[in-house]
Structure 1
């Protein structure tokens, strides 16, 4: 299961950071703090090297409790510092429902995307003439994405949705340390899996911008 989902863990996380700094003492998930050094996650503490599966520097640990279920947690590093936490599990309809409900308690759904397109929740709501029309658009998008085995829900924590026109502007106007949660449905049938990944997209974006501003070494 880990190998089948690993590419989704790393690639989508990289895309999120690219599309969107400073060090922050902020928790990504439970007690996993953003920018914690790789050396902290030792074999003696139960972590194992899953870098080959993920395709980048990573450490994993099994049987972590969340939503009354067991997950494999994959810790993804950039420059040997923790930048993303992903929870991985085989697909289960009950868990899928619990994940949506659980995330919705403190996060706001801002978009959904499949392999081909993005449904911006704010833009779609603004252009819908009724609640029924909005519900139908969301339902149709979900059905197509789930049927194709590729659907991602993107949530932002503590977001004030009032007056927002689209997901991009909502993120840009949010605090620098806003936390993102992505619920990823990947694969079909027996190979179907679910990933919940937590990042700080604006902090990661600022880090990339800071690196880009550094003087270029002559050669």
Structure 2
């Protein structure tokens, strides 16, 4: 489970000036909330063997009526990423994609040995129907191969003058979340993170 692989590809590099106060990662999990807020009594356990020394885990976290195992990643004892993990279920994937459309835009899909830039694809296609057909063809082929990653960014529109996924991602604000959703080896993972705030933390 690689942290920030999507943001690395998209080249998130703009540093902004807002504070981190109560910035949501996922539901009640806020960016830079403190490690000591998550206790054994609440059901959180250390899980260093699988996810490293800076992670804690919890069972039974819900998203779109599907149960996930949650992994919370911390840097300097502050929450930096929330990842939800479960067995792959095609119906769950469809419901998650439908839910994400309300607030997030899918910019990129990455298969085993290729990627599909949806911003670039939309410019090439002559109609919405052609765009959807090409997207679905790629998705079904890569899901059948056993590995597909989806890159989502909050708060932007795919058709607002950007030439590709990288330039589209640059229009996101620092409090806009990214999601990397991965179907691989029979598992379904969703990682919620804030790469611009991470960069601001790394380069104050």
Instruction: Map 1:1-219 to 2 at 5 A.
Output: 8=1, 11=2, 13-18=3-8, 19-20=11-12, 24-25=20-21, 26-161=23-158, 162-187=160-185, 192-208=186-202, 210=203
Deviation of 1:129 after TM superposition, in Å, equals: 2.8
Runs of 4+ with >4 A deviation: none
* Alignment TM-score, normalising by the size of structure 2: 0.87
Change (3 A) 1:71 1:140: same
* Alignment TM-score, normalising by the size of structure 1: 0.82
- SS in structure 2 of the partner of residue 176 of structure 1: coil
Question: Which one has the bigger helix percentage?
Answer: 1
2:75, 2:113 → 1: CA distance? 28
Q: Conserved in 2, the CA contact under 8 Å of 1:155 and 1:182?
A: yes
Q: Which runs of 5+ in 2 are unaligned?
A: none
1:110, 1:130 → 2: CA distance? 18
Deviation of 1:73 after TM superposition, in Å, equals: 0.9
Q: Conserved in 1, the CA contact under 8 Å of 2:4 and 2:193?
A: no
